[in-house]
């Protein structure tokens, strides 16, 4: 045979590009495209070759399979054969065929050449199926066919090729083509034969060049686990997750990693030695479970490569990567267009709001932004499809493509394992249904037939609530929202929530609450880290040791997690303003943090006690406040988010303001330096009565209407007996607000409001506009209603 004869059946990756999809499928065409065009950017793609569509069709013809397959498809369409029977029979007759000599010789010759290039007798390869209609933006066939890993030897490769040919007729692939209207016999199968990356000795994963839940385009989302990458794709493990801010990737001296979460990673797939299967699954070591898969340099390198790939293709991308444990190098092993968020129209926003609360049964990583109700149906296997009732809540360990027919009938999906790039997460987004992944214990805690509400509309974490709770669903056309003279901003707590609302036409974040990150992400009292040697609670010491594993200095754990959470919020709005309120826990709330009780006094009325500004300069807490300052300093100077403004809560007197400003300066946060602005909360009558003096010390005011109402009316915010009297619209409260706005404007300062009042009562928002307020910060789900009210009022 000549090289020309070989080209009929085999094409090397460096001979093909994205124009060859009809010949080698989308997956292989993409590999060739990257090898040919991205070499100059040092993006590594493992070498290999692809069998052609001609090889597949010649195989069918040589074994007289076309008519045999067509007749079985006709029987299926006539209702004489089930989907399962059709798939099983067609796969069997394809696998039973013999590869024609001319095709076998071409594959053998290519395999020998690939082995020679890597200076081994028999190179280990992956055999990956690539359908000739797959990985197109309008029809993603990803995951419909099979891949076979750690294939070594010519005979083993030929057997793997036949199995790949047969996988064109997996049940899920047949169902998918039926749904999309593809003719089964017009689609061909190319096998990509690619040098294996020894990620079984390192790690692998998946990345997307946008946020997969919100469509926010300025980040790279990377998932990583130990061993071969199938554990991430299949959702077998809860992987590490890294988030990188694309616009800052090439800024000198800037840390662009805005998110870094350690996954459990309790299983991995490695090479098998002996036996029938080339790979096996095993438990990870304790060291692996407690460590990150990628270093920060590797995270940044992957992000840069992914941006280059996205720019080359001109569309957001879904990319698989692997790290070789032998040489430590990272490789791109697949790249395809992202087919869910990138195809949504930018002007429409669907919002969900939970109208009541209930008992939380389980929690997990929220995928999508929806809410659904239904009866729990716990399934162990996709073979139990017959007992699944339409509209149920599917609960299982994990899903793979065999589950898709069931997932399409579910109201929501809950899996015990998996991350944001697992199969369950990707399919649920494509189907537009909410999902919780990594919800540990779900299959035992949720009982068949129990009515539940699945909510993914509350930030990073999703919940399964007992019972059917009321919720609201709305479709908002952002292009029709009115413009207002009054600046509208957002109140944000959870970083993931910030990205969820990035499309809203707002002027930034008027209140980013630090407490959410400390309470839900960090969990540890700051002084239990700065004064760890003094900590007496042995259980707390053990927990802190576990949480801070890998940190030479335990305080770095606090600073890093706080900084990255704030940076995610800042990134969602950059370059618009993001006002971050320094911590305002009360002593009882601080005491509930891990290791906190030892460091907090017992107060009869914590609401009026040691909180806010008074803690920052106190010898009893100043080293804890220093950690907050380190985090803010890193966000602004180390990560480049100069759009962050800091705000001081519960500052009682101008003299106290001076002490706080001095402490900030001592901690590297000098007002005015590098453009740093410092605002003050206006939530105490003294802030209003001494507005002129406070205006000399700060750059702006933000009204905290809840505390201001509490202190003007003398009513505790927590008093159930007096709740009917607690009214932000009371005349005395409104008078205080008018006074503040007038005096602040005389001093040349702007005034905003970040309290709940305008979110809860649009008429209160109208009052604020009439009083001349400069900005109103709202809970995101109230923006649309309040915008309409304000626009109407401004029009008169």
Dihedral sign, Cα of residue 562, residue 566, residue 568, residue 571: negative
Residue 155, phi then psi, degrees to nearest 5: -65, -40
CA 275 to CA 272: how far, in whole Å? Answer: 7
Q: How far from the centroid of its chain's Cα atoms is residue 420's Cα? A: 6
Smallest CA-to-CA distance from 290 within 520, 538, 557, 496 is with 557
Q: Which two tokens stand for residue 96?
A: 């039973």
Q: Are strands 393-396 and 371-378 parallel, antiparallel or unpaired?
A: parallel
Report DSSP letters for 304-342, one per residue. HHHHHHHHHHTS-EEEEEEE-TTT--EEEEEEEE--SGG
Structure-token pair, residue 449: 């037939």
Give the largest CA-CA distance in the chain: 95
- 19 to 24, 27, 579, 628: CA distances (angstroms): 10, 12, 49, 53
Q: What whole-number distance in Å separates Cα of residue 495 and Cα of residue 522?
A: 13
Reference 50, options 91, 5, 8; nearest CA is 8
Distance between CA atoms of residues 120 and 127, nearest Å: 18
SS3 for 425-444 is HHHHHHHCCCEEECCCCHHH
Neighbour-count burial for 460-477, b at 16+ CB within 10 Å, e otherwise: bbbbbbeeebebeeeebe
The number of residues making up the chain comes to 796
CA–CA distances in Å: residue 8 to residues 31, 62, 99, 175, 579: 19, 15, 15, 30, 62
Neighbours of 119 (CB within 10 A): 7
Rounded CA-CA distance 718/550 in Å is 41
> What are the strands of the beta sheet with 189-195, ordered from one edge?
10-12, 48-51, 189-195, 124-131, 147-152
CA–CA distance, 393 with 468 (Å, rounded to integer):
12
Q: What phi, psi does 532 have (nearest 5°)? A: -55, -35
Kindly report the backbone phi and psi dihedral angles of residue 273, in degrees, each rounded to the nearest multiple of 5, phi listed first: -115, 105
* 487 token code pair: 């600046």
**Residue 126: half-sphere exposure toward Cβ, Cα within 13 Å:** 25
Helices 101-117 and 53-62 pack at an angle, to 10 degrees, of: 140
H or E segment to which residue 195 belongs? strand 189-195
* Catalytic residue set: 423, 754
Alpha-carbon gap, residue 287 to 283, rounded angstroms: 12
Distance between CA atoms of residues 20 and 27, nearest Å: 10
- Give first-to-last CA distance, the chain, whole Å: 85
- Cα distances (Å, whole numbers) of residue 522 to 547, 596, 601: 9, 13, 21
All residues at 6 or more sequence positions from 517 whose CB lies less than 8 Å from its CB, including other chains: 495, 561, 562, 565, 566
Q: Which residues contact 604 (CB under 8 A, 6 or more apart)?
A: none
**Distance between alpha carbon 433 and the CA centroid of its chain, in Å?**
16
DSSP class of residue 197 equals P
């Amino acid at each position: 045979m000549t090289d020309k004869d070989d080209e009929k059946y085999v094409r090397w990756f460096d001979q093909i590009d994205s124009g060859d999809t009809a010949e080698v499928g989308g997956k292989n065409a993409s590999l060739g495209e990257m090898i040919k065009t991205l070499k100059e950017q040092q993006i590594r793609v493992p070498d290999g070759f692809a069998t052609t569509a001609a090889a597949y069709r010649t195989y069918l013809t040589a074994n007289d399979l076309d008519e045999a397959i067509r007749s079985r498809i006709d029987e299926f369409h006539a209702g004489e054969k089930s989907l399962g029977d059709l798939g099983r029979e067609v796969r069997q007759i394809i696998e039973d065929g013999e590869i024609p000599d001319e095709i076998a010789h071409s594959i053998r010759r290519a395999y020998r050449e690939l082995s020679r290039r890597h200076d081994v007798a028999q190179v280990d390869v992956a055999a990956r199926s690539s359908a000739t209609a797959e990985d197109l933006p309008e029809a993603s066939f990803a995951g419909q066919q099979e891949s076979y890993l750690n294939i070594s030897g010519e005979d083993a490769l030929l057997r793997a090729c036949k199995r790949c040919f047969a996988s064109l007729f997996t049940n899920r692939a047949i169902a998918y083509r039926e749904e999309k209207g593809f003719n089964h016999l017009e689609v061909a199968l190319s096998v990509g034969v690619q040098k294996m990356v020894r990620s079984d000795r390192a790690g692998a994963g998946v990345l997307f060049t946008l946020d997969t839940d919100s469509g926010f385009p300025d980040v790279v989302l990377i998932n990583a686990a130990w061993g071969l990458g199938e554990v991430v794709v299949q959702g077998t493990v809860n992987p590490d997750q890294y988030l990188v801010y694309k616009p800052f990737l090439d800024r000198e001296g800037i840390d662009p990693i805005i998110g870094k979460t350690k996954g459990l990673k309790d299983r991995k797939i490695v090479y098998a030695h002996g036996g029938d299967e080339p790979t096996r699954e095993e438990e990870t070591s304790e060291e692996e479970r407690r460590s990150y898969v990628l270093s920060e340099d590797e995270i940044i390198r992957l992000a840069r490569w992914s941006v280059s790939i996205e720019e080359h293709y001109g569309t957001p991308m879904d990319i698989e990567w692997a790290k070789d444990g032998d040489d430590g190098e990272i490789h791109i092993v697949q790249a395809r267009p992202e087919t869910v968020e990138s195809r949504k129209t930018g002007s429409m926003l669907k919002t969900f709001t939970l109208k009541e609360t209930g008992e939380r049964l389980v929690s997990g990583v929220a995928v999508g932004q929806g809410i659904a109700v239904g009866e729990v149906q716990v399934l162990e296997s996709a073979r139990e499809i017959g007992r699944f009732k339409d509209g149920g809540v599917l609960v299982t360990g994990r899903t793979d493509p065999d589950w898709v027919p069931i997932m399409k009938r579910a109201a929501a999906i809950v899996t015990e394992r998996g991350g944001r790039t697992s199969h369950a997460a990707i399919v649920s987004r494509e189907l537009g249904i909410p999902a919780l992944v990594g919800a540990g214990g779900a299959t035992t805690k949720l009982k068949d037939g129990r009515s539940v509400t699945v909510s993914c509309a509350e930030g990073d974490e999703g919940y399964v609530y007992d019972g059917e709770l009321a919720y609201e669903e709305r479709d908002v056309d952002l292009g029709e929202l009115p413009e207002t003279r009054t600046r509208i901003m957002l109140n944000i707590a959870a970083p993931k929530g910030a990205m969820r609302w990035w499309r809203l036409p707002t002027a930034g974040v008027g209140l980013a609450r630090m407490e959410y990150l400390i309470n839900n992400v960090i969990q540890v009292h700051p002084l239990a880290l700065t004064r760890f040697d003094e900590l007496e609670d042995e259980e707390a010491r053990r927990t802190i040791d576990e949480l801070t594993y890998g940190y030479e200095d335990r305080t770095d754990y606090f600073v890093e997690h706080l900084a990255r959470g704030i940076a995610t919020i800042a990134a969602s709005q950059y370059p618009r303003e993001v006002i971050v309120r320094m911590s305002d826990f009360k002593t009882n709330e601080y005491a509930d943090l891990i290791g906190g009780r030892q460091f907090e006094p017992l107060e009869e009325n914590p609401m009026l006690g040691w909180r806010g500004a008074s803690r920052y300069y106190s010898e009893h807490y100043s080293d804890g406040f220093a950690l907050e300052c380190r985090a803010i300093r890193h966000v602004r100077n180390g990560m480049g988010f100069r759009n962050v403004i800091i705000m001081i809560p519960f500052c009682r007197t101008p003299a106290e303001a001076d002490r706080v400003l001095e402490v900030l300066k001592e901690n590297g946060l000098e007002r005015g330096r590098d453009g740093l602005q410092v605002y003050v909360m206006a939530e105490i009558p003294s802030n209003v009565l001494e507005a002129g003096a406070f205006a000399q010390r700060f750059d702006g005011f933000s009204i905290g209407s809840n505390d201001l109402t509490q202190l003007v009316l003398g009513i505790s915010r927590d008093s159930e007996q007096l709740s009917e009297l607690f009214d932000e619209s009371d005349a005395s409260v409104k008078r205080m607000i008018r006074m503040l706005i007038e005096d602040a404007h005389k001093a040349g300062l702007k005034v905003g409001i970040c309290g709940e009042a305008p979110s809860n009562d649009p008429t209160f928002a109208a009052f604020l506009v009439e009083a001349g307020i400069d900005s109103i910060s709202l809970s995101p789900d109230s923006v649309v209603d309040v915008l309409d009210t304000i626009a109407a009022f401004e029009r008169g």
